Amino acid sequence: MTTTETDRPADGPDSDTTGDAGHRTGHRTGRPAADGRRPPDDAPDAFEADLLPTPKGASRALLGSLLAPHRGRVAAATAALLLQQAAAQASPLLVAYALDRVVPALRAGGRGPLVVLVTVAVLCAVAAGGLQWAFVRLSARAGQDVLLDLRGRIFRHSQALGLDFHERYTSGRLISRATTDVEALRELLEEGLQELVTVVLAALYVTALLFWLDVGLGTAALLSAVPLALLVRSFQHRSQRAYLAKSTATAAVIVRFAETLNGIRPVLAFRRERANDAAFAALNSRHRRLNGDAILEMARYVVGSRAVANAALAAIVLWGAYRVVTGGLALGVLAAATLYLRRLYDPLDRMGVFLNAYESAAASLEKIAGLLAQRPTVAEPTAPRALPPAAPDRPGREVAFHGVRFGYRTGGEVLPRFDLALAAGTTVAVVGATGAGKSTLARLLARFHDPTEGRVTLDGVDLRELSGAELRRAVVMVTQEAFLFSGTVADNIALGNPDADRAQIERTARAIGAHDFIVALPEGYDTDVRRRGGRLSAGQRQLVGFARALLADPAVLILDEATSSLDIPGERAVQRAMGAVLRGRTALVIAHRLSTVESADRVLVMSDGRIVEDGAPAALIADGGRYAALHRAWRTSVS
Ligand SMILES: Nc1ncnc2c1ncn2[C@@H]1O[C@H](COP(=O)(O)OP(=O)(O)OP(=O)(O)O)[C@@H](O)[C@H]1O
């Protein structure tokens, strides 16, 4: 099936994104939808709280699968950093060498140690610079590739998930996943990890060197690590909570932004600006508060770690000075040890930066992993079946609903059990009050949803057994809101059949009656529909939608006729186009116009999810039932 237009905006300002907390267990809450209303909105669920269930270990598995293809680069980057740190950590040793060897040698007139010192210092500086460059290059490439892969996965997965998911998750959350959450991971990969590796390696090198210089000083440095480790742990716990809350608050701001702007027309029409401002301000200030909490945690950590580090440094230096005075330690060793201790403690602040980046990325990764763990409810068959070859003497295909029942995940039963067969090549109009279940019936035929019970078949083959591609070729749904994608008018028509050439596109547009208005556009078929001058009217958009469907040439067409009325010439143009597009296939039309119903072969009247009348239009009028009443009302409104 080709969804030529998005059926229902997933996240308009008044869309329903709430649902029952028990949806994963198949449990449903809420009253039956027969009264045309949604279930109560008092059950905030995982979607609302922006916390999709993430299977245990999913974040780690996701990170592993992202990094696996770059194992070589990650190893090379780590090796470069190890060597770079070895070179960078040499300078305090050189200070000790200068004080204890070079100065006495110079006093005695020897220059040898000075030459050694200068040579080693230059070599170390060059090596540290070169290795740093190699590390940044390698890690940046790996990081960028990982992010490219992750964004691609989020996009592909989001497209594969069903309509029911999108109606609840909303595009704002998806945008948040693909932007701020991916960005958090970028910060970790490009900055945080470097910080961590640098800090850990520096600590290892420095401790080893301190031990080498003097076992007592080394032991003292090791002991001072205990309170610092406790401090890091408690910071990690607190910042984890702060970051999860912050990332949810960030997503909420983006969701509100996207929802409001997606529904900008009703917002302006109903003067919702003030109310929206207030709602947005509340979310925005919550975001600021939670962001502030995360920064405060960081500040507490920095102050705490500096206090502990300074106290430890002062104690060790005092003890060292005492040993120098009593002759137990060389002055140069104490000077080098002091420099090393500073190097050991200074990066502790940067450890906080890493932990921040890590917590932020962990929270984001968990959300992304939760999204990627969602399975499409409308799954591809493992062993797809082909449709039987189309009979040459018979247009379209036969559609049948066998013992079908259906209820949305977020509500009660919408369509009680029913059977229905649509003969191949016939046009069937569906009419009924709003909320009667017409769109739901159409959505089942387009396989936006699978029935809760029963089967929908096309020439005897269950829709669930057809591959996505086969189903898309066979069943096309054209919805009311004729959606145009960015690109030219020709691109938008060609969506129905990407292999069509310009001649075919023009032939189709002529058959629909859209050719004249298209050539009158500034650049004809090549007019960009999103640019100035390329904006199409509602009727024109519908004609493009019909051209798309005609070009796709499906065996079964589902058409949700627009309820908004057009001007008389526009109405006639759409009516003519509809005639062209319905011919020669099986068609299910959700009809809002008398002329459409009158030209149908059969009419289904729906009420509370049931088909209450079924027959040829003339026969139903003669029966004097609901359709007859509707028909009378239409006639009066037209005359
Ligand atoms: N995505 C959804 N989730 C939960 N319930 C839904 C959803 N879409 C529709 N419903 C409910 O299903 C019932 C039938 O809706 P449906 O859209 O099929 O009616 P309709 O006859 O097409 O109405 P209209 O003419 O107004 O489009 C209604 O009670 C509606 O509230």
- Interface confidence, given as ipTM, is 0.96
Closest-CA residue, ligand 1 atom 17, reads: 439
Output the six-digit token pair for 85.
């740190």
Mean pLDDT of 555-561: 89
**Residue written as tokens 């949305």?**
408
What mean pLDDT value characterizes the chain?
A: 82
Indicate the residue type of 219. T
| pLDDT-derived band at 45, boundaries 50, 70, 90 | low
Mutate to test the pocket of ligand 1, among 438, 558, 590 (most ligand atoms within 8 A of CB): 438
Output the six-digit token pair for 563.
């309820």
CA 439 to ligand 1: nearest atom: 22
Q: What's the per-residue H, E or C state across 11-24?
A: CCCCCCCCCCCCHH
Could you count the other beta carbons within 10 Å of the beta carbon of residue 271?
9
Closest-CA residue, ligand 1 atom 9, reads: 440
Closest-CA residue, ligand 1 atom 16, reads: 437
Q: Which of 520, 589, 517, 516 is nearest to 549 (CA)?
A: 589
Strand locations in 89-212, DSSP E?
Answer: none
| pLDDT digit string, tens, across residues 75-85 | 898 888 888 87
Lowest mean pLDDT among 87-91, 155-159, 270-274, 280-284: 87-91
Closest-CA residue, ligand 1 atom 14, reads: 437
What is the domain partition of the chain in residue ranges? 58-373, 399-638
Mutate to test the pocket of ligand 1, among 20, 167, 408, 607 (most ligand atoms within 8 A of CB): 408
- CB within 8 A of 392, min separation 6: which ones? none
Mean pLDDT of 466-478: 89
Output the six-digit token pair for 350.
């940067």
Question: From ligand 1's centre to the CA of 596, what distance in Å?
Answer: 22
Question: From ligand 1's centre to the CA of 22, what distance in Å?
Answer: 21
178-193: string of b/e by CB count within 10 Å (b at 16+)? bebbbebbbbbbbbbb
> How is domain 58-373 classified at the architecture level of CATH?
Up-down Bundle (1.20)
Q: Is residue 266 predicted with pLDDT exceeding 90?
A: no
- Mention the CATH class of domain 399-638: alpha beta
Q: How much is the pLDDT for 38?
A: 37
pLDDT-above-70 percentage for the chain: 89
- CB within 8 A of 122, min separation 6: which ones? none
Mean pLDDT of 510-525: 87
Q: How much is the pLDDT for 201?
A: 76
Q: Which of 52-61, 63-72, 76-85, 205-214 reaches the highest mean pLDDT?
A: 63-72
Q: Is residue 322 predicted with pLDDT exceeding 70?
A: yes
| pLDDT digit string, tens, across residues 383-430 | 888 888 877 777 889 999 999 999 987 778 899 999 999 999 899 999
Question: From ligand 1's centre to the CA of 437, what distance in Å?
Answer: 6
Q: Which of 19, 20, 44, 64 is nearest to 369 (CA)?
A: 64
Closest-CA residue, ligand 1 atom 7, reads: 408
Question: From ligand 1's centre to the CA of 93, what distance in Å?
Answer: 76
Mean pLDDT of 456-484: 88
Mutate to test the pocket of ligand 1, among 440, 477, 563, 612 (most ligand atoms within 8 A of CB): 440
**Residue written as tokens 């969701």?**
255
Mutate to test the pocket of ligand 1, among 8, 15, 439 (most ligand atoms within 8 A of CB): 439
Question: From ligand 1's centre to the CA of 409, what distance in Å?
Answer: 12
Q: Is residue 114 predicted with pLDDT exceeding 60?
A: yes
Distances in Å between the Cα of 507 and the Cα atoms of 315, 484, 544, 551, 558 are 89, 20, 13, 9, 22
CA 441 to ligand 1: nearest atom: 18
| pLDDT-derived band at 531, boundaries 50, 70, 90 | low
Residues with CB under 6 A from ligand 1: 33, 36, 38, 167, 408, 410-411, 414, 432, 434-440
